[in-house]
Amino acid sequence: MLERFDNYQLLSKIATGGMAEIFLAKHVNSPVNSMPIAIKKVLKQYGNNPMLVKMFLAEARIICNISHENIVKIYDFGKFDDQYFIAMEYVFGQNLGAIIEKLKERDLIMPLNLTIEIISAVLCGLDHAHNAQDRNGNFLNIVHLDMNPNNILISYEGKIKVVDFGIANANYTKKFKDSAGIQGTYAYLSPEQCSGKAVDRRSDIFSVGIILYEMLTGHTLYKQLDNDMAIMNSILNDEIEPINELMPEIDPKLAKIVMKALEKNPNRRYASAMDMREDLQLVYNSLEFDPNSEMLPAFVKKLFPAHFIKMTKIIEQAQTEYLMDELFNNIGELEDLDLEEKKKTEEAARQKEEAEKKRVKKKAFFSRLGLVSGIVAGLAVIALILKFLFVDPDVKVDMITVFSNPGGAQIFVDGEDTGKVTPASLQLEHGKKYIIDFIKDNMIGTLEFTPSSENRQINMQLKPR
């Protein structure tokens, strides 16, 4: 795995372009379906070039204004670690340049229906960009200016997207664009780009015309030329060989479309990408192709099986890691939840137990109390009965009041604890001799006492033991 960059984990380098590197990446903390992402980073050596940085940011701003299925979506742009970057949707597939190269290696050309499908989709995306407006409804007058096969991406699912508005022209980029001179891939420039004249959307139509011509014929128009000057010279001055001469079997209507897009004078070209697309659609419909949406994906996958498998593995691994991360995070959360839940449950169980204990204690206390009071009551009844049956009715009981100094002393009568503390009253038998003891902390007192009519009160002075 490569380094982390801002909020993105870089997974694999896709390409090194003119002034930027492109990486497959994943966002470090977005949901799994936001994956995968492509990160385009300006190479460090260009980070200090204000014009290039401006262009790069202009690209980001331009695509930000555009949302179309045939244009690569941009998610984020900015600067991290002194490097400008764009985060965009990753198109899992190949650029058209690589596809054309592969076909050439095998001496093949793109099937006609797929060629028309691809160019039609590109024209759709471009038309949308050409007509883009700002929030106030003003046309941005965006022109891509670098329409070449490498900037057309075809996914293994058959999606077709235009990328790299890196030198795109828009109202607000015009100033520095003028001072930037010619840019773009030379072999796909329009005559007006080569001569430094004003450009508009029709410049992109010329570039798409070159791509279409090359796809249909399997021959390059300018790419084979030695150097940039020769290319520009040829674009400006050389007549293009009519496509029907090179390809006599070509549908004449299709040949007309190609040559109209390649008119050197913009006024004779299609006025808009949509006009050209409409003509292409008419040809497409008249040729009655088998409408098989699986053909393009199968075709591209077949050309690049190793790349498809390698990248699938990388993406799947990253997605698995993503899922694992999410899973682990969730497990962590669940564990935390679990712990809290456990604590709560334990606390609730403890409180319940405590309450239960208290309840049981209370119950036990009351039942013991009940039992004791029952026994006491029973005994009292028995005593009453016994008293009634056996006690001598002549026995006289005196009420004796008992004080001590200090007070609060336990009272024992004939060695028996009365359960009473001074001051208290005792019922004692008249005329009977008692030994009464007092205990308070380490103070004691004892006396012999016989209740009588004059002797009904005890005042006991306690002494240290």
Ligand X SMILES: Nc1ncnc2c1ncn2[C@@H]1O[C@H](COP(=O)(O)OP(=O)(O)O)[C@@H](O)[C@H]1O
- DSSP-assigned beta bridge partners for residue 78: 85
Our CB check for Mg ion shows the closer of 146 and 279 to be: 146
CA distances from 447 to 31, 404, 412, 415, 427 (A): 94, 12, 11, 12, 17
**Position closest to ligand X via CB:** 17
Going by the DSSP 8-state scheme, the letter that residue 415 receives in this structure is: T
Residue 403 and residue 420 in contact, taking contact as beta carbons nearer than 8 Å:
no
* Contact of residue 15 among ligand X, Mg ion, none (CB under 5-8 Å per partner type): ligand X
Our CB check for ligand X shows the closer of 19 and 119 to be: 19
To the nearest 10°, report the CA torsion of 410, 416, 419, 423. -40
Catalytic residue among 146, 164, 204, 437: 146
Residue with the two structure tokens 């209507």: 253
* Rounded distance between C-alpha atoms, residue 255 and residue 216, angstroms: 10
Mark residues 143-172: x for contact with Mg ion by CB under 5 A, - for none.
Answer: -------xx------------x--------
Our CB check for ligand X shows the closer of 184 and 191 to be: 184
> Minimal distance in Å, beta carbon 33 to ligand X?
17
> Minimal distance in Å, beta carbon 151 to Mg ion?
5
The pairing of strands 160-162 and 416-421 is: unpaired
Could you give the 3-state DSSP secondary structure of residue 42?
A: strand
By CB under 5 A, residue 192 contacts Mg ion: no
> What is the number of residues in the chain?
465
Our CB check for ligand X shows the closer of 16 and 133 to be: 16
Residue 225's contacts (CB-CB under 8 Å, 6 or more residues apart) are: 187, 231, 234
* Contact of residue 140 among ligand X, Mg ion, none (CB under 5-8 Å per partner type): none
Our CB check for ligand X shows the closer of 39 and 460 to be: 39
- DSSP-assigned beta bridge partners for residue 85: 41, 78
* Contact of residue 88 among ligand X, Mg ion, none (CB under 5-8 Å per partner type): ligand X
Structure tokens at 271: 């006025």
> Minimal distance in Å, beta carbon 25 to ligand X?
10
* Rounded distance between C-alpha atoms, residue 91 and residue 439, angstroms: 100
C-alpha closest to that of 5 among 40, 34, 48: 40
Taken in order 296, 116, 139, 184, the sign of the CA dihedral is positive
Binding site for ligand X (CB under 6 A): 14-15, 17-18, 20, 22, 38, 40, 72, 88-91, 95, 150-151, 153, 163-164, 166
The answer to whether residue 146 is catalytic is yes
* Contact of residue 190 among ligand X, Mg ion, none (CB under 5-8 Å per partner type): none
* Rounded distance between C-alpha atoms, residue 422 and residue 208, angstroms: 118
* Contact of residue 90 among Mg ion, ligand X, none (CB under 5-8 Å per partner type): ligand X
Our CB check for ligand X shows the closer of 153 and 262 to be: 153
> Minimal distance in Å, beta carbon 18 to ligand X?
4
> Minimal distance in Å, beta carbon 274 to Mg ion?
24
Count of residues in contact with Mg ion, rule CB under 5 A: 3
Q: How many CB atoms lie within 10 A of CB 72?
A: 23
> Minimal distance in Å, beta carbon 211 to Mg ion?
13
Q: Which residues from 366-425 bind Mg ion, rule CB under 5 A?
A: none
> Minimal distance in Å, beta carbon 77 to ligand X?
13
Q: How many CB atoms lie within 10 A of CB 440?
A: 18
> Minimal distance in Å, beta carbon 70 to Mg ion?
16
Taken in order 142, 143, 148, 149, the sign of the CA dihedral is positive
The pairing of strands 463-464 and 443-449 is: antiparallel
Residue with the two structure tokens 């070209």: 269
Our CB check for ligand X shows the closer of 40 and 128 to be: 40
Residue with the two structure tokens 């609730």: 348
C-alpha closest to that of 209 among 166, 245, 256, 169: 256
Our CB check for ligand X shows the closer of 148 and 404 to be: 148
* Contact of residue 399 among ligand X, Mg ion, none (CB under 5-8 Å per partner type): none
Catalytic residues: 146
- Residues contributing to the site for Mg ion (CB under 5 A): 150-151, 164
